[in-house]
């Protein structure tokens, strides 16, 4: 391993191939060689958890937190590992820290409330989760699922989730067919039926909607046409001369 990049590349290749023991060995050596690079320790802790060495993983996560107190991923990893090891008092402290350093609020709150619940403080756990759920716009699926787990034991109802905020509206619906799209089945009428006496047939009922509307509004009636024959043919204009009658005395200049 000539450089940190080479070490990361080799460790990642070992993980991809499924050789976690080799990956753990490479990351452990890299963590000791490049002590100021927290990425090696974070990867090392994750691999340790994957091979079942959670106590060592927790120790590595806490070492990263000591050197980098604001690392949210280290706080999250440490809290999850402590919970898995059933170190509930430590887990509660680590979940609170994770919440304070910017871990996703509903994830950290659910982890904290679940730890408090397991420690026997059920009412406190319920109230914390409920307040966080409501303050978050009643949209967190994670907190809502936790509240649903606790509700039967607490003996109370669960606040409703706001589906508009979650963006998970139920889109499974059947479109309603319009009058134009309905396919009417052919029918026949008996001789003494009202339809038969009115002169209606099955064809009339299955007529297209636009035809029905047209007939209803009387738009099919034949409109009288203007006789244009007078304007056709070779007709010559009639010239008329209009002579004005002029009094004779107006023409007398004598």
85-123 pLDDT, tens digit per residue, is 999 999 999 999 999 999 999 999 999 999 999 999 999
CA distance 50 to 145: 27
Could you list the residue range(s) of the whole structural domain that residue 136 is in? 104-169
Which band of pLDDT confidence, cut at 50, 70 and 90, is reported for residue 159?
Answer: very high
The answer on 120 and 81 residing in a single domain is no
Residue that is last in its domain, among 147, 169, 191? 169
Average pLDDT over residues 154-165: 88
Residue 234 lies in a domain: no
Query: Looking at residue 97, what is its pLDDT?
Result: 96
Residue 244 has pLDDT above 60, yes or no: no
DSSP assigned state of 224:
P
**Percentage of the chain surpassing pLDDT 90?**
60
**Residues in Cβ contact with 89 at an 8 Å cutoff, skipping those fewer than 6 apart:** 119
Residue that is last in its domain, among 169, 192, 207? 169
Residue 122 lies in a domain: yes
Query: Looking at residue 69, what is its pLDDT?
Result: 95
Which band of pLDDT confidence, cut at 50, 70 and 90, is reported for residue 32?
Answer: very high
Cα–Cα distance list, 192 to 53, 185, 199, 206, 246 (Å): 90, 21, 11, 21, 86
Residue 92 lies in a domain: no
Residue 215 lies in a domain: no
The answer on 70 and 129 residing in a single domain is no
């Amino acid at each position: 391993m000539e450089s940190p990049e080479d070490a990361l590349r080799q460790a990642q290749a070992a993980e991809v191939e499924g050789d976690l023991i080799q990956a753990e060995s490479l990351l452990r050596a890299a963590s000791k060689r490049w002590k100021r690079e927290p990425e090696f320790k974070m990867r090392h802790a994750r691999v340790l958890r994957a091979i079942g060495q959670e106590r060592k993983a927790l120790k590595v996560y806490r070492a990263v937190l000591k050197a980098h107190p604001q690392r949210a991923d280290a706080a999250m990893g440490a809290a999850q590992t402590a919970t898995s090891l059933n170190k509930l008092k430590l887990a509660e402290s680590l979940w609170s820290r994770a919440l304070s350093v910017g871990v996703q609020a509903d994830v950290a709150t659910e982890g904290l409330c679940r730890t408090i619940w397991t420690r026997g403080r059920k009412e406190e756990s319920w109230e914390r989760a409920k307040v966080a759920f409501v303050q978050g716009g009643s949209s967190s699926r994670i907190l809502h699922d936790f509240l649903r787990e606790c509700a039967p034991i607490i003996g109370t109802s669960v606040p409703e989730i706001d589906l508009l905020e979650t963006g998970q509206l139920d889109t499974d619906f059947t479109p309603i067919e319009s009058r134009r799209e309905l396919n009417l089945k052919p029918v026949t009428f008996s001789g003494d039926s009202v339809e038969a006496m009115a002169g209606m047939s099955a064809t009339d009922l299955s007529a297209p909607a636009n035809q029905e509307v047209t007939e209803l509004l009387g738009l099919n009636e034949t409109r009288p046409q203007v006789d244009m024959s007078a304007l056709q043919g070779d007709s010559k204009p009639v010239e008329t001369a209009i002579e004005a009658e002029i009094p004779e005395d107006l023409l007398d200049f004598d």
